[in-house]
């Protein structure tokens, strides 16, 4: 399904919505010249799907652990009392209700894990990550800037 169908449909979803300042900061983080460059990226749909979770989740529903994004990549949640972090990003305006879901505001655009992130984070791939570093190929497997 495309994002428009998902967000305009009747299925319930939870959206971690980066605010305008977060998108402006993403310009630098993604190595673009301006916001138009971010919006023109071929991988923008994947980045946006990473901010969408099936089902309606209020801030009080979050528990420390992982949830699966619409992209199919995990988002790490740390719930500590009223503070909820998603991939270390604080939700600062939670539980905005919509007819088909809930919106939580973030101050950063979350990037899904790159291939290098996955290889570097798992012991089973330590040799592969080391080999890529030794061959100076890590940039090939990181986020394209």
pLDDT on residue 9? 74
User: Tens-of-pLDDT digits for all 145 residues of the chain?
Assistant: 567 777 777 789 999 999 999 999 999 988 899 999 999 999 999 999 999 999 999 999 999 999 999 999 999 999 988 889 999 999 999 999 999 999 999 999 999 988 888 888 889 998 998 898 899 888 888 876 5
pLDDT on residue 144? 60
106 exposure class (CB count in 10 Å sphere: 0-12, 13-18, 19+): buried
Q: In degrees rounded to 5, what are phi and psi of residue 63?
A: -125, 155
pTM of the model: 0.84
Q: Strand ranges (DSSP E) for the chain?
A: 13-18, 52-54, 65-68, 74-80, 83-86, 89-98, 101-106
72 backbone φψ class: left, alpha, beta (φ>0; ψ -120 to 50): left
CA distances from 4 to 7, 81, 106, 116, 127 (A): 5, 33, 20, 30, 41
């Amino acid at each position: 399904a495309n994002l428009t169908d998902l967000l305009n449909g009747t299925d319930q979803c939870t959206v971690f919505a980066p605010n305008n300042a977060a998108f402006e900061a993403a310009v630098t983080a993604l190595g673009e010249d301006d916001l138009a460059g971010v919006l023109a990226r071929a991988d923008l749909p994947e980045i946006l799907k990473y901010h969408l979770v099936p089902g309606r989740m209020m801030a009080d529903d979050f528990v420390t652990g992982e949830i699966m994004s619409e992209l199919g990549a995990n988002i790490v949640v740390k719930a500590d009392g009223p503070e909820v972090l998603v991939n270390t990003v604080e939700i600062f305006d939670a539980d905005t209700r919509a007819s088909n879901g809930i919106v939580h505001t973030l101050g950063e655009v979350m990037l899904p894990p790159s291939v290098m992130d996955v290889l570097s984070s798992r012991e089973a791939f330590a040799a592969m990550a080391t080999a890529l570093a030794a061959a100076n190929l890590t940039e090939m497997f990181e986020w394209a800037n």
